[in-house]
């Protein structure tokens, strides 16, 4: 499976035809020239706006998609959720390292005590059998 290089860049007026074809279902009904003119206005507005940005995704130099963004900070919004992924052994190690040393030592001692009790019970049950 080959990996393609995806690059995001600001939209340019030359992208208007591609964007009109891509978003033809979402644009107002009319002939293609009217749709291209509408998209050209949108591209020009996004180039000077501090509130929105129109990005074009390119795969190997050819346009493949686009997105129109409104910045959440300008609207007073924040992210609803953030998803971070890591292997569980790394998460455990990181969480353990952030605990105070006294707690880490106490838990280690408790684990050793429980292991010793299990071993003692096992030995006692083997002797009784």
Any domain includes 83: no
Token pair, residue 88, equals: 């569980």
Can you give the pLDDT at residue 44?
A: 95
Strand partners, 54: 68
What mean pLDDT, rounded, does the chain reach? 84
Name the pLDDT band for 50 (thresholds 50, 70, 90).
Answer: confident
- Local confidence band at 2 (pLDDT 50, 70, 90 cut-offs): low
The span from the CA of 129 to the CA of 127, in Å, is 6
The residue from 75, 99, 120 where one domain ends is 75
- Alpha-helical runs (H) found in 29-68: 32-48
- 54 token code pair: 């129109």
CA 37 – CA 45 distance, rounded (Å): 12
Same domain, 92 and 65: no
pLDDT tens track for 78-115: 666 666 777 888 888 888 788 787 776 777 788 888 89
Q: Specify the CATH number for the domain of residue 51.
A: 3.40.630.30
Total number of domains in the chain: 2
Instruction: For residue 21, name the pLDDT band (cuts at 50, 70, 90).
Output: very high
Range of the domain at 111: 88-128
């Amino acid at each position: 499976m080959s990996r393609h290089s995806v690059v995001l860049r600001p939209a340019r007026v030359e992208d208007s035809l591609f964007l009109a074809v891509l978003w033809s279902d979402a644009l107002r009904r009319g002939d293609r020239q009217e749709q291209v003119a509408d998209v050209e206005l949108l591209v020009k507005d996004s180039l000077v706006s501090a509130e929105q940005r129109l990005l074009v995704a390119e795969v190997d130099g050819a346009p493949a998609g686009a997105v129109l963004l409104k910045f959440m900070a300008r609207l007073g919004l924040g992210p609803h959720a953030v998803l971070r992924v890591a292997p569980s052994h790394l998460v455990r190690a990181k969480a353990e390292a952030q605990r105070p040393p006294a707690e880490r030592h106490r838990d280690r001692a408790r684990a050793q005590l429980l292991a010793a009790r299990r071993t003692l019970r096992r030995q006692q049950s083997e002797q009784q059998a």
